[in-house]
Amino acid sequence: MSNPSTLTTSLQKAGMRVTPQRVAICELLANSHEHPTAAMIYEELKPRFSSLSLATVYNTLDALVTLGAVNVLGHAGDDTVHYDADTEPHVNLACISCSRIIDIPSEHVTHLDAEITAASGYKLLGARVLYYGLCPECQKKQIEITRN
């Protein structure tokens, strides 16, 4: 998990105005384990900020991604882009049925970073390791469907 103030500081450095709406977007991203999409962030914050637009959510997310403060995860079978404010090495596990994405901490990812740095000479800025599968709940649902 990352710190909301790290995200707002990044926006400030990029010359963006840190409005209460943008602070709320940063807080939501930093405190969420749900890897929200832009639409999820918009729906969640709209009741608090009636003037919030989806465009504000997108341009804030774009800025954070460009600054390397937030990772883009791509879609998880639902054709919408998910965002991850945790830029520390970890594995993302996506359920292809309910499109939920969870984090799995893995020291192997840290070792993999070192291996790739040594092999390539790159200065790594981040990593995205995404596994696909069926979550335990969706496996249960699938068993129930095949029974009926």
Q: Tell me which residues touch Zn ion (CB under 5 A).
A: 95, 97-98, 135, 138
Query: By C-alpha distance, which of 28, 33, 128 is closest to 75?
Result: 128
Cβ 96 to Zn ion shortest distance, Å: 8
Return the SS3 of 112.
helix
Cβ 41 to Zn ion shortest distance, Å: 21
Distance in Å from the first CA to the final CA of the chain: 41
C-beta closer to Zn ion: residue 24 or 95: 95
Cβ 26 to Zn ion shortest distance, Å: 28
Considering all CA atoms of the chain, what is the largest pairwise distance in Å, rounded to the nearest integer?
58
C-beta closer to Zn ion: residue 23 or 98: 98
Return the SS3 of 119.
helix
C-beta closer to Zn ion: residue 41 or 95: 95
